[in-house]
Amino acid sequence: MIPSTGHAKPLPVIDRHNRTYWEGTREHELRLLACDDCNHIRYQTFSTCPHCGSDRRHWICASGNGTVWSWTRFHKTYFPGFATDMPYVVVVIELDEGPKLFANMVDMRVPPKIGTRVKAVFEAVTDDVTLVKFKPA
Amino acid sequence: MSITSLAGRPAIVGVGTTPYGRLPEYDQYDLGAWALKEALSDSGLALGDLDGLIVSRIGDYQRFGEMLGINPRFTAQLPGQGRMAGIAIQQAAMAIATGMASVVAIVYGNNGRSSHDRYGGEGDQYGSGGAGQWFPYGMTSPGALHAMLFERHSALYGTTSAQLAEIAVTFRQHASLNPQAVMRDPISIETHQNSRFICEPLHLFDYCLINDGGVALIITSQDRAKDCRKKPVYIRGVEQATALADSSMPPDDFWRKPMQSISKRIYKQADCSRDELNALMIYDNFTPTVLFSLEGYGFCPIGESGPWVKEGHLRLGGRFPANTSGGHLSESYMQGWALNVEAVRQIRGECGDRQVENAELIQYMAAAPICTSIIYGVLPR
Ligand SMILES: [Zn+2]
């Protein structure tokens, strides 16, 4: 599964639902869907609002500020592309806007303390894909 | 509104299990059919008596029905996820209670070890459906999610890995008394603590054991149970509650809300209290799930499950002996199914060296985006 781009790690599947999100990260914006009717903000690019059921929605640009909710450090290699990063940390970030997401800290080696305030940074991994990562604020 | 009793008083009248381990000669269908044959023989009923069939993890209900040569009037297929074991029993009890079926077989076949089923990584079929969006960050596997939940629990309440070790050691001790268990050599707290990390802070011994095996149960009404070989084990209460909203992320409350919702209803339905229970069967895909279940289902105060298990309550001879078969951690990961069989065998008094004295009421419980719980009794409600 090594893409010809030279990036050995898995890449996101970009589709019509999340295209705006991935266009945003290339412009160093963390875009989230907001409900036109109840203002609920979601990370998942569902066509309807999980809070009120409305399908009327718009994209907002999130602050990129959040808090470390938890972490785990992988000692088992599930992805060959991560072999040289072992062991690496995946974090759960709770964004100030509400949604949680999985991500990496820029430094994937050291687990951050739960509760650490963080700020989004943008890391281009291919011409098309820029990942959102986090560093201590 | 809650149910106060199930019409027809559904009962388990037959249980069947294959050996667990590496069974490369058998596929899911073979394992399910083998377990079903054992369950029917246990019950004294024949294939022709079945008019209900629910399968889980068996690829195709139609092919399975064709293989058995049966035409049930109630059929359903559930995905191969552990949270489905309780649902299968709930659906069977509902079919009996409504009269939609009179004898239901629920059948599970899992050849996950020999077919190298994955619970993480790019070939994952079971562990994290739709979770491919997180692969770019290296995030995958239910174990990783439970590791994050446990780390969060530790930060909030001071829970420790040594407290998880108590669970692994206790269930292994129980497995050492169970000839059917895959892992029977006792382990110590140190063995657990010195074992390698998989998804830190979880160690190898915090993980369940992927194996091949089949499990089947036969469920019928109290009336029909009179014709069966063994004393029926009654389903006194069965309840479900879910937390599907936001379920792609680990829950802030460790699934407490659905478990508390079940607890409000199930003791009423079963007409008993927690204090009357003689044993627990707790879904233990990973050791932290046991802690979350004990708190959510109300066996100890919120945040205190770590010290509580350390007091030894889950051990044979303790206040609430749990997973007396060894559970998923040491008997085999039969995704809740074998834990329900163990509850039945305990109530029948068939458990030999690991038998709980006077086991009359046993609660099965699972914590996940779908929570289920069942209370089994030697007597009907
Ligand atoms: Zn809305």
Q: Is A46 on the interface with B (CB under 8 A)?
A: no
What pLDDT is stored for residue B116 in this prediction? 81
Chain B: nearest CA to A38, how far in angstroms?
A: 16
Cα(A33) to ligand 1 centroid in Å equals: 10
Q: What percent of chain B has pLDDT over 70?
A: 97
Say whether pLDDT at B139 is over 60. yes
**Chain B residues with CB inside 8 Å of A18's CB?**
133
- Cα separation, B331 vs B211, in Å, equals 10
How much is the average pLDDT of B108-115?
A: 92
Point out which residues pair with B199 in neighbouring strands.
A74
Q: How confident is the model at residue B174 (pLDDT cuts 50, 70, 90)?
A: very high
B32 within 8 A of B109, measured Cβ to Cβ: yes
Are A72 and B121 in contact (CB < 8 Å)? no
Q: Which domains does chain B have, with CATH numbers?
A: 3-115+209-377 (3.40.47.10)
| Least confident residue range of A5-19, A55-69, B22-36, B218-232 | A5-19
Are A73 and B199 in contact (CB < 8 Å)? yes
**Chain A residues with CB inside 8 Å of B246's CB?**
50, 100
Grouping H, G, I as helix, E, B as strand and the rest as coil, residue A123 is strand
Cα(A55) to ligand 1 centroid in Å equals: 8
Write the ipTM: 0.96
Question: Among all residues of chain B, which has the CA nearest to that of A98?
Answer: B246
- Cα separation, B341 vs B363, in Å, equals 12
Per-residue pLDDT tens digits for B243-278: 999 999 999 999 999 999 999 999 999 999 999 999
| Least confident residue range of A42-46, A96-100, B125-129, B176-180 | B125-129
Q: At a CB cut-off of 8 Å and minimum separation 6, what does B30 contact? A: B109, B214
Q: Is B128 on the interface with A (CB under 8 A)?
A: no
Q: Is A92 on the interface with B (CB under 8 A)?
A: yes
What pLDDT is stored for residue B128 in this prediction? 45
Q: Is B136 on the interface with A (CB under 8 A)?
A: yes
**Chain B residues with CB inside 8 Å of A74's CB?**
138, 144, 199-200
Question: Among all residues of chain A, which has the CA nearest to that of B123?
Answer: A78
Interface test with A, best of B119, B124, B135, B149 (most A CBs within 10 A): B135
Whole-number average pLDDT of chain B: 95
Per-residue pLDDT tens digits for B67-79: 999 999 999 999 9
Q: Is B249 on the interface with A (CB under 8 A)?
A: yes
Closest CB to B137 among A75, A90, A115: A90
Per-residue pLDDT tens digits for B302-317: 999 999 999 999 999 9
How much is the average pLDDT of B138-158?
A: 97
Say whether pLDDT at B127 is over 50. no
Mean pLDDT per 10-residue interval, chain A, length 137 residues:
69 93 98 98 96 98 98 97 97 98 97 98 96 98
Closest CB to B137 among A76, A100, A104: A104
What pLDDT is stored for residue A6 in this prediction? 74
Identify whether B207 is a catalytic site residue: no
B113-121, long-range: CB < 8 A, 24+ apart: B113/B21, B113/B22, B113/B23, B113/B210, B113/B211, B113/B212, B114/B22, B114/B23, B114/B24, B114/B26, B114/B212, B115/B27, B117/B210, B119/B143, B119/B210, B120/A76, B120/A78, B120/B144, B121/A78, B121/A79
What pLDDT is stored for residue B125 in this prediction? 55
- Cα separation, B105 vs B123, in Å, equals 31
What pLDDT is stored for residue B104 in this prediction? 98
Q: Is B133 on the interface with A (CB under 8 A)?
A: yes
Are A11 and B136 in contact (CB < 8 Å)? yes
Closest CB to B136 among A9, A18, A72: A9
What pLDDT is stored for residue B121 in this prediction? 81
Are A90 and B138 in contact (CB < 8 Å)? yes
Per-residue pLDDT tens digits for B343-358: 999 999 999 999 999 9
pTM of the model: 0.96
Of A41, A92, A47, A89, nearest to A63 by C-alpha is A41
